[in-house]
Structures are given as structure tokens and as C-alpha cells.
Amino acid sequence: MSDTRMTTDEYLRTPETLLPQELAYGFVREAAAAPTPGHQWMVGEIFSTLRAHLELDRSGRVWMAPIDVVLDRERHLVLQPDVVYVAQDRLHIVTDRVWGAPDLVVEVLSPFPRMGRLEERLDWFAQYGVRECWLVHQLEREIEVLDLSGGTVPERVPLAPRTRIPSKVLPRLETSLEAMLGDA
């Protein structure tokens, strides 16, 4: 984490970058290096699956990182989850950034986290109103689906790769992690 403090507005005026970068209560956090090809491939496959589903379902829109999600403008908290979904009736929060909590965030977990602590991110997602978070374990090829709608982080239980993803946010999504990622 940088020693330099910034406001949300100052952060949003910095030059565009493709490297992951976030603002954690006024402190800029930058990843030491770009994500690995395996991480990016998984993010892309999950995004593609969700996008294809939403083309038929029309229940909202999905984006992949880097995209700024401003969880708290006044407290200077801006995160960049790997994938974000916003429901159709809440698309007004998406303009030049996502101004508020997405309905669903997906984090593909790398063996060596590059920015911040996972527990901290999960707490922020729950506190600021993200309804659901999927944690995808890259090496184990497992997924955890966390219902954050109660404002707290529930016990984390990994699902087997072939288990249908039990999403309350996308209830008509009929897929598993294995179906999204295939044999690769």
C-alpha cells in the first residue's frame, strides 16, 4: 500500500491503467505485477458464461476488471473485483464507474494474493451491500458462493466443481464451475 493519501475524486482523475489498482480508505493499492494467464483465462471464461446467460435472461449486465467500483465516495473506498454484475433495475449506478455495490462480485483467487487481504475485501462487500460473492479457487478449481445479503460474511464452504452454482442473485443460471471452465 502506498503512503500517499488520496480522495476518491483525486484517485478517479489518475491516468487509466490496466494494472489492478484500488483505493482503500484513501490509500492507493497497486498490484506488483499483472495477473497470471491462468487467472485471466478463468476471469474471461466466467465473464463469457455470465454474458451469454444475460443475453437470454436480460436481468442485468456484467463487466470484468479493471473497472472501478466506488463503494464509499466519502470514505475513499474504490475496489476492482474481477467480475461484477448489476441487476437491470439498478443499472443507474453504472455510469463512468460503478457508483455503489454491485449485486454480484466474482473474485478469482490467486495462490499469492497481489493486493490486500481477502477477509478485508469480503467484509467491505458485505458492509456496503454486495448481495453475493463468488470466490473461485484457481488451483483447486473450486467455488464458494457467499450470500452477503445479511450484511455479514457467512461460513465459507467450497462447492465441488460439478455442483450447480446456487446463486440467489442469478437464480436461472444453470451451470457449474466445471461447465464454465471446461477441461482446460
110 within domain boundaries: yes
122 within domain boundaries: yes
Cell of 88: 437491470
Note down the domain range covering 176: 35-181
pLDDT digits (tens, 9 = 90+) for 69-120: 999 999 999 999 999 999 999 999 999 999 999 999 999 998 776 678 899 9
25 within domain boundaries: no
Residue 146 to residue 137: CA distance in whole angstroms: 14
> What pTM was estimated for this model as a whole?
0.94
If DSSP codes are grouped into helix, strand and coil, which group holds residue 182?
Answer: coil
How many domains are contained in the chain? 1
The pLDDT score that the predictor gives to residue 158 is 92
Cell of 70: 466506488
125 contact partners, CB below 8 Å, separation of at least 6: 101, 105, 133, 148, 153
107 within domain boundaries: yes
> Percentage of the chain with pLDDT > 70?
96
Q: Are 132 and 149 in contact (CB under 8 A)?
A: yes
Q: At residue 48, does pLDDT exceed 80?
A: yes
Q: At residue 1, does pLDDT exceed 60?
A: no
The pLDDT score that the predictor gives to residue 184 is 58
- 113 or 144, which is more confident? 144
Q: At residue 8, does pLDDT exceed 60?
A: yes
Which helix (H) or strand (E) covers residue 48, if one does?
A: helix 37-57
Which DSSP string do the residues of 131-143 spell out, in sequence order?
A: -EEEEEETTTTEE
The pLDDT score that the predictor gives to residue 142 is 93
Which CATH number goes with the domain that contains 87? 3.90.1570.10
134 within domain boundaries: yes
Question: Residue 101 class from Cβ within 10 Å (0-12 exposed, 13-18 middle, 19+ buried)?
Answer: buried
60 contact partners, CB below 8 Å, separation of at least 6: 54, 85, 86, 87, 88, 90, 91, 103
Q: Are 25 and 2 in contact (CB under 8 A)?
A: no
